[in-house]
A and B are shown apart, each in its own frame.
Chain A
Amino acid sequence: MSEAKKTPFYEKHVVLEGKIVDYSGWLLPVQYPKGLVEEVHDTRRKATIFDVSHMGEVSVRGKDAEAFLQKVVVNDISRLKDNAIMYSPVCYPDGGVVDDILVYRIDGESFFLVVNAANTDKDYDWFKENVFGDVELQNLSPEYAQIALQGPNSEAILQQLTDVSLGEMKNYHFLPEVKVAGVDCIVSRTGYTGEDGFEVYCKNNGAVDLWDAVWEAGQKHELNPAGLGARDVLRLEASMPLYGHELSKELTPLQAGLDRFVALDKTVEFNGREALRKQKQERISRKLFGLEMLERGVPREGYPVKVEDQEIGWISSGSYSPTLDKFIAMAFLDPEIVRQTGEVDVMIRNRSYRAGITKMPFYRREK
Chain B
Amino acid sequence: MKYNIVDGVKYTRKHEWARREGDTAVVGLSDYAQDKLGEIVFVELPDIGAEIEAGKGSAVIESVKAVADLYAPVDGTVVEVNEELLDQPELINSDPYGDGWVYKVEVKDESQLDALMDKPAYEKFVVEEDEK
- Rounded to whole Å, the gap between the CB of A352 and the closest CB of chain B is 13
Q: Residue among B38, B41, B86 with the most chain A CB within 10 A?
A: B41
Does B125 make an interface contact (CB < 8 A)? no
Render B51-85 as a binary contact track against A, CB cut-off 8 A, 1 for contact.
00000000010101101000000000000000000
State A300–B60 Cα separation when bound (angstroms). 14
- Rounded to whole Å, the gap between the CB of A64 and the closest CB of chain B is 45
State A71–B41 Cα separation when bound (angstroms). 45
Does B39 make an interface contact (CB < 8 A)? yes
Q: Which residues of chain A in 35-72 are interfacial with respect to chain B, using CB atoms and an 8 Å cutoff?
A: 35-37
Does B122 make an interface contact (CB < 8 A)? no
With A296-B86, A349-B60: A30-B39 Cβ-Cβ less than 8 Å: no
With A36-B64, A37-B64, A320-B64: A296-B39 Cβ-Cβ less than 8 Å: no
State A253–B65 Cα separation when bound (angstroms). 26
Q: Which residues of chain A in 182-241 are interfacial with respect to chain B, using CB atoms and an 8 Å cutoff?
A: 229, 233
Does B44 make an interface contact (CB < 8 A)? yes
Does A131 make an interface contact (CB < 8 A)? no
| Chain B interface residue count, Cβ-Cβ cutoff 8 angstroms | 11
- Rounded to whole Å, the gap between the CB of A32 and the closest CB of chain B is 11
| Chain A interface residue count, Cβ-Cβ cutoff 8 angstroms | 16
- Rounded to whole Å, the gap between the CB of A94 and the closest CB of chain B is 34
- Rounded to whole Å, the gap between the CB of A260 and the closest CB of chain B is 30
State A37–B37 Cα separation when bound (angstroms). 13
Contact of A300 among B39, B44, B67, B86 (CB under 8 A): B67
Q: Report yes or no: B65 in contact with A30, Cβ–Cβ below 8 A.
A: yes
A-chain residues with CB within 8 Å of residue B41 when the two chains form the complex: 298, 320, 327
- Rounded to whole Å, the gap between the CB of A28 and the closest CB of chain B is 14
Q: Report yes or no: A31 in contact with B62, Cβ–Cβ below 8 A.
A: no
- Rounded to whole Å, the gap between the CB of B46 and the closest CB of chain A is 13
- Rounded to whole Å, the gap between the CB of B52 and the closest CB of chain A is 16
State A37–B38 Cα separation when bound (angstroms). 9
Does A319 make an interface contact (CB < 8 A)? yes
Q: Report yes or no: A296 in contact with B42, Cβ–Cβ below 8 A.
A: yes
With A31-B38, A297-B42, A298-B41: A229-B86 Cβ-Cβ less than 8 Å: no
Q: Which residues of chain B in 14-66 are interfacial with respect to chain A, using CB atoms and an 8 Å cutoff?
A: 38-39, 41-42, 44, 60, 62, 64-65
> 24 A-B pairs, CB-CB below 8 angstroms?
A30-B65, A31-B38, A35-B38, A36-B39, A36-B64, A36-B65, A37-B39, A37-B64, A229-B38, A229-B64, A233-B64, A296-B42, A297-B42, A298-B42, A298-B62, A298-B67, A300-B67, A320-B41, A320-B42, A320-B64, A322-B64, A327-B41, A349-B44, A349-B60
State A331–B67 Cα separation when bound (angstroms). 19
State A295–B62 Cα separation when bound (angstroms). 15
State A36–B41 Cα separation when bound (angstroms). 12
- Rounded to whole Å, the gap between the CB of B68 and the closest CB of chain A is 12
A-chain residues with CB within 8 Å of residue B86 when the two chains form the complex: 296
Q: Which residues of chain A in 230-278 are interfacial with respect to chain B, using CB atoms and an 8 Å cutoff?
A: 233
Q: Report yes or no: B42 in contact with A229, Cβ–Cβ below 8 A.
A: no
State A297–B43 Cα separation when bound (angstroms). 8
Q: Which residues of chain B in 76-99 are interfacial with respect to chain A, using CB atoms and an 8 Å cutoff?
A: 86
B-chain residues with CB within 8 Å of residue A233 when the two chains form the complex: 64
With A35-B38, A37-B39: A319-B64 Cβ-Cβ less than 8 Å: yes
B-chain residues with CB within 8 Å of residue A327 when the two chains form the complex: 41-42
- Rounded to whole Å, the gap between the CB of A301 and the closest CB of chain B is 11
State A115–B10 Cα separation when bound (angstroms). 50
Q: Which residues of chain A in 338-366 are interfacial with respect to chain B, using CB atoms and an 8 Å cutoff?
A: 349
- Rounded to whole Å, the gap between the CB of A314 and the closest CB of chain B is 17
